[in-house]
């Protein structure tokens, strides 16, 4: 944990300031130690350079989700160059320029693939938060970047000061909360007036077959042992991979042929990735105990409940929402 960002941290229990104790510093970084809250006497460990700012009783459902995704991100921890184009598609029309000189929060950072990109886009500081042990993969994947910081915490009870962030993005996370609105309500106050929140969310529109087939299967597989789920995902990936190579790849550059293929906008985006990444994506679909496929009106309501003025709402790949909103001066 970098000492220079200590003033951003806040106790998730009472929002009090945190003070390092028993800290073992290493070139301006606290590798092992503890953060103490003088207001409520809570104590939070720092291990392997990551502050563990977890609330005393996180929701059981949230913990289960974090544990399962943590298994995924530590198993599939690679960082690939293809992630940049993918991320820019998920946040458009917000682009690289929105990051320049900003303090940025990645709400649900997983293995840290977007933390590296946010830093490369010119962010002043990038803070990643995740509830599970994916933070260890994120910390390892960004250890060489001085502007990146990783925190283990609950994004519905974020351990940061209000008004401390210029930009927050959350890609593929808020729809896995028991109540997505709770995530928006918790994150929006962290923004400075005029700050922006960007979210990529599953859409109900365009996902009829997913809700009919994949989602019910996911309710079963979300309770199965993770190695078994990974094996099932591998079995699913084999025919998908064959279809990508034999059907979707040959139609690139032939728009009239592509229109004949189901889900072509989304699946064509998977063509640059190797088999292992497609396996990870299939695995991802089978993990979560909760996945909300959100109609447009639900997305609009989430931004409104966060006190955010919705500025853009785009139907991405005809199966998801790319949305962004601004926090008003009144908050």
The per-residue DSSP string of 175-216 comes to GGSSSHHHHHHHHGGGEEEEEEEEEEEEBSTT-HHIIIIIHH
| Domain 61-222+293-331 sits in CATH 3.10.50.30 | no
Nearest Cα residue to 94 out of 180, 196, 193, 185: 196
Nearest Cα residue to 31 out of 21, 10, 46: 46
- Range 240-268 average pLDDT: 84
Higher model confidence: residue 259 or residue 41?
41
Residue 25 is predicted with a pLDDT of 61
* Average pLDDT in the chain: 91
In whole angstroms, what is the distance from residue 183 CA to residue 197 CA?
A: 11
In the chain, what are the domain boundaries? 1-53, 61-222+293-331, 223-285
Q: Is 212 exposed, middle or buried (0-12, 13-18, 19+ CB in 10 A)?
A: exposed
pLDDT band at 251 (very low <50, low <70, confident <90, very high): confident
Q: What does the pLDDT look like over 145-172, one tens digit per residue?
A: 999 999 999 999 999 999 999 999 999 9
DSSP-derived secondary structure for 242-256: HHIIIIIGGGTT-HH
- pLDDT of residue 275 exceeding 70, the answer is yes
Q: 200 φ, ψ to 5°? A: -115, 125
CB atoms within 10 A of CB 46: 23
Least confident of 34-43, 136-145, 250-259, 289-298: 250-259
Q: What does the pLDDT look like over 44-72, one tens digit per residue?
A: 999 988 999 998 877 777 888 888 899 99
What's the distance, Cα to Cα, between the start and end of the chain in Å? 29
Least confident of 18-32, 117-131, 180-194, 302-316: 18-32
Residue 331 is predicted with a pLDDT of 46
Higher model confidence: residue 36 or residue 24?
36
Residue 265 is predicted with a pLDDT of 85
CA 282 to chain centre: 17
Least confident of 77-81, 184-188, 248-252: 248-252
- pLDDT of residue 326 exceeding 80, the answer is yes
In whole angstroms, what is the distance from residue 191 CA to residue 331 CA?
A: 9
- Range 169-196 average pLDDT: 96
98-103: long-range pairs with CB below 8 Å, 24+:
98/167, 98/196, 98/198, 99/123, 99/167, 102/166, 102/167, 103/8, 103/127, 103/164, 103/165, 103/166, 103/167
pLDDT band at 107 (very low <50, low <70, confident <90, very high): very high
In whole angstroms, what is the distance from residue 119 CA to residue 122 CA?
A: 5
46 beta partners:
33, 51
- Range 80-91 average pLDDT: 96
| Beta pairing, strands 43-47 & 103-107 | unpaired
């Amino acid at each position: 944990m970098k000492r220079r960002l200590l003033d951003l941290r806040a106790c998730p229990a009472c929002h009090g300031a945190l003070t390092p104790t028993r800290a073992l510093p290493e070139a301006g970084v606290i590798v092992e130690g503890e953060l103490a809250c003088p207001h409520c006497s809570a104590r939070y460990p720092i291990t392997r350079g990551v502050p563990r700012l977890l609330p005393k009783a996180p929701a059981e459902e949230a913990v289960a989700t974090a544990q399962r995704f943590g298994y995924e991100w530590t198993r599939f921890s690679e960082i690939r160059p293809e992630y940049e184009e993918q991320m820019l598609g998920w946040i458009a029309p917000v682009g690289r320029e929105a990051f320049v000189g900003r303090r940025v929060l990645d709400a649900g950072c997983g293995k840290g693939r977007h933390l590296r990109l946010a830093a490369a886009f010119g962010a002043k500081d990038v803070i990643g938060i995740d509830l599970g042990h994916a933070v260890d993969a994120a910390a390892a994947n960004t250890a060489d970047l001085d502007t990146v910081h990783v925190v283990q915490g609950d994004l519905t009870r974020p351990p940061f000061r209000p008004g401390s962030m210029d930009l927050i993005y959350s890609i593929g996370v808020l729809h896995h909360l028991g109540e997505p609105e709770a995530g928006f309500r918790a994150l929006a106050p962290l923004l400075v007036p005029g700050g922006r929140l960007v979210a990529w969310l599953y859409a109900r529109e365009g996902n009829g077959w997913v809700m009919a087939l994949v989602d019910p299967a996911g309710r079963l597989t979300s309770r199965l042992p993770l190695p078994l789920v990974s094996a099932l995902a591998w079995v699913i990936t084999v025919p998908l991979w064959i279809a990508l190579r034999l059907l979707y790849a040959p139609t690139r550059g032939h728009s009239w042929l592509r229109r004949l293929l189901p889900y072509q906008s989304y699946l064509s985006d998977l063509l640059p990735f190797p088999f292992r990444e497609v396996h990870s994506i299939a695995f991802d679909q089978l993990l979560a105990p909760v996945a909300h496929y959100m109609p447009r009106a639900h997305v609009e309501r989430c931004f409104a409940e966060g006190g955010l003025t919705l500025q853009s709402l785009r139907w991405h790949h005809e199966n998801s929402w790319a949305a962004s909103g601004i926090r008003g001066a009144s908050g």
